């Protein structure tokens, strides 16, 4: 519960241009795929907002590995890869994310 709340708060801080304030919010969260599966994705959003693109990609990769059925880190990685001019990688990541999102929506 704490990881989820911290992640949502950190995402709100990033969305409002306060990414530096988001780092200490998620820093104490224990990194464990079962307990905090989306924290690496949020960490990636924070890193990207702070201009640390390679660290963001690495965090998104941890998010993908920790929860392979979550499309969010893939969508974020795809957007960043596209911004970095890596269109082929971005397209592949976006296609994977879209397929997962469609699969997940079928279960709702």
| pLDDT tens, position by position, 51-76 | 999 999 999 999 999 999 999 999 99
The string of pLDDT tens digits covering residues 4-16 is 888 999 999 999 9
Instruction: Find all residues with CB under 8 Å of 86, minimum gap 6, and list them.
Output: none
Residue ranges covered by each domain of the chain:
2-106
Q: Say if residue 46's pLDDT is above 90.
A: yes
Decide if 19 contacts 13 (C-beta within 8 A). yes
Over the stretch 80-106, which tens digit does the pLDDT of each residue have? 999 999 999 999 999 999 999 999 898
For domain 2-106, the question of CATH label 3.50.50.60 is answered with no
Whole-angstrom Cα distance, residue 59 to residue 85?
A: 19
> Rounded to an integer, what distance in angstroms lies between the CA atom of residue 18 and that of residue 1?
23
* pTM: predicted TM-score of the whole model, two decimal places: 0.88
Tokens representing 64?
């993908």
pLDDT of 35 higher than 80: no
The three-state secondary structure class of 53 is helix
Percent of the chain, pLDDT > 90?
Answer: 77
Q: Using pLDDT thresholds of 50, 70 and 90, give the confidence band for residue 1.
A: low
Give 78's pLDDT tier (boundaries 50, 70, 90): very high
């Amino acid at each position: 519960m704490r990881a989820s709340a911290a992640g949502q708060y950190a995402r709100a801080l990033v969305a409002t241009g306060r990414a530096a304030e988001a780092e200490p919010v998620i820093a104490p969260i224990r990194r464990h795929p079962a307990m905090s599966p989306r924290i690496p994705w949020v960490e990636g959003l924070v890193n990207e907002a702070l201009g640390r693109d390679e660290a963001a990609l690495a965090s998104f990769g941890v998010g993908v590995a920790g929860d392979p059925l979550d499309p969010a880190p893939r969508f974020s990685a795809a957007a960043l890869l596209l911004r970095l001019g890596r269109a082929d990688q971005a397209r592949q990541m976006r296609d994977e994310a879209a397929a997962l999102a469609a699969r997940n929506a079928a279960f709702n």
